[in-house]
Amino acid sequence: MLVLLESLAFYRNVRIGAVSGALLAVALYLVRTLELLGPVVEVREYPAFGPDVWFLFLAFVLAATSALLVAITLTLFEAVRGARGVGREKRG
């Protein structure tokens, strides 16, 4: 199993996905909290926490899902590239 994960560059893809997900979430969180696109109209009440804490929770979910999406996409591209390489070896 470890050989398969290493041949697909899975651990590298996970690191790239984690970094890209974290950067996206931090960027969007800063845009929201620093109001870089203008003030946010607050018309609802937030239970237990303020809106910044709820948006932090959403930023974490965004980071996790985008990291997973990037890692899966990179791993699939690596699998397709590896499968094409094996197909060429059998022909030649």
* C-alpha 60, offset from chain centre: 10
Angle between helix axes 10-33 and 51-91 (nearest 10 degrees) is: 150
- Answer whether residue 92 shows pLDDT above 70: no
Instruction: Write the pLDDT tens digit of every residue in 32-91.
Output: 888 888 777 777 787 888 888 888 999 999 999 999 999 999 999 999 998 888 777 777
Both tokens assigned to 50 = 């303020």
One-letter amino acid at 67 equals A
Torsion angle (degrees, nearest 10) of CA 88, 90, 91, 92: 80
Whole-model pTM: value is: 0.79
- 53 versus 25: the higher-pLDDT residue is 25
Q: Where does the pLDDT of residue 5 fall: very low under 50, low under 70, confident under 90, or very high at 90 and above?
A: confident
Domain that holds residue 12: 2-91
What's the pLDDT at 49? Answer: 84
Count structural domains, the chain. 1
- Alpha helix segments (H runs only) across the chain: 2-7, 10-33, 51-91
- 87 versus 5: the higher-pLDDT residue is 5
What's the pLDDT at 50? Answer: 81
